[in-house]
Amino acid sequence: MRKLTSVLLATMVLAAPLTGCGDTGTSEASTSRLDTVTSRGKLICGVEGNIPGFSFVDQSGSYSGLDVDVCKAVAAALFNDPNAVEYRNLDSTERFTALTGGEVDMLSRNTTWTLSRDTSAGLEFAPTTFYDGQGMMVRANSGIQSLTDFQGKSICVETGTTTELNLTDKMRQAGVNFNPVVFQEANAAYAAYSEGRCEGMTSDKSQLIARRSTLPNPEEHVLMDVTMSKEPLGPVTPNNDSEWFDTVKWVTYALIEAEELGITQANVDEKRQSEDPTVRRFLGLEGDLGEGLGLSNDFVYRVIKNVGNYGEVYERNLGKGSQFQLDRGQNDLWTRGGLLYSPPFR
């Protein structure tokens, strides 16, 4: 028995260093994307690229929109340079593979937060930047007033989206037999609708409004008075990377909190002279909130100075400063009846 005990002890002693080496290897292998992006010197951001007001690339190759500004905000926090971004246009079927495979660092495109995407798809959803709902666009002279009017008619829809699933559910609930005309890419879907290959086009309401503006005769198309779903849209990062997720999450919250505190792109330098401890902590003049994220303590100042607060981002892309003139509605601060709310920066 004594001999057997000695053998077992010797085996455990030999195994201990091997276990330690294994743990070290695992730790070294789990590098955060924050380190990867910082070392690279630029952010690679996945966007849609064809939705005016959200992410749209013009003929000169310049990107603009609310989703684009979120990418710029993250780049500003990291590099103090909102232009340190490489954009990748991704359709609905390739976006998640591109993210989880490392082709892009984050998504900032019309992507709905759902339970299955948050779990089995391996995604992590940052705060919602636009609360939307699925709608339906038809021709003004079509005579279609409700979903039941689509009996025997066709509807264009992009595949690989919650839109496709919601459409099937709603029509099933309404007992309507319709013909789905499915496309992998949004441009093809809207082109087919424009050509009359389907009587209806369904997507997020904001996207329908934006895309309607690109049709040959926008005034000939209307959005029906129907909301088919809840569509919380926001940035997405890969799962199981807390450092990188926290970075994107708190940069997004910074846009919201800045508006609540009345800090704008124009007055942020003046606000740095404030004696208000909340403002001073928020802008990195006191405390070490930035260091806790692996960023500079003035990361919020960088974001606001380069991009502005959420209200400024919204108004220039979708609101009063844009062609769309969309009311804030649910996308206003909680203090004004909206849904936007940031946890404390402390």
pLDDT tens for each residue of 170-214 = 999 999 999 999 999 899 999 999 999 999 999 999 999 999 999
Query: Among 1.10.10.350, 1.20.140.10, 3.40.190.10, 3.40.640.10, what is the CATH number of 34-131+233-336?
Result: 3.40.190.10
Q: CA end-to-end span of the chain, whole Å? A: 60
Find tokens 């606000």 and name the residue. Answer: 271
Mean pLDDT of 78-104: 96
What is the C-alpha separation between 171 and 237, in angstroms, rounded?
A: 32
pLDDT more than 70, % of the chain: 91
Q: In what order do the strands lie in the sheet with 50-51?
A: 50-51, 55-57, 63-64
pLDDT given for residue 92 in this prediction? 87
CA dihedral 194, 199, 204, 209 (to 10 degrees): 50
- Which DSSP string do the residues of 77-97 spell out, in sequence order? HHHS-TT-EEEEE--TTTHHH
Helices (H), 107-177: 115-118, 162-174
Per-residue pLDDT at 272 exceeds 80: yes
**Beta bridge pairs of residue 232:** 131
Quick one: pLDDT band at residue 13, thresholds 50, 70, 90? Answer: very low
Closest CA to 262 of 293, 241, 283, 243: 283
pLDDT given for residue 28 in this prediction? 39
Mean pLDDT of 17-38: 61
pLDDT given for residue 261 in this prediction? 98
* Cβ contacts of 296 within 8 Å, gap of 6 or more: 284, 290, 302
What is the C-alpha separation between 272 and 52, in angstroms, rounded?
A: 34
Superfamily of domain 134-229: Periplasmic binding protein-like II (3.40.190.10)
Mean pLDDT of 126-143: 97
pLDDT given for residue 160 in this prediction? 86
What is the pTM for the complete model shown? 0.87
Quick one: pLDDT band at residue 5, thresholds 50, 70, 90? Answer: very low
Per-residue pLDDT at 19 exceeds 90: no
- What is the SS3 assignment for 105? coil
DSSP letter (8 states) at residue 43? E
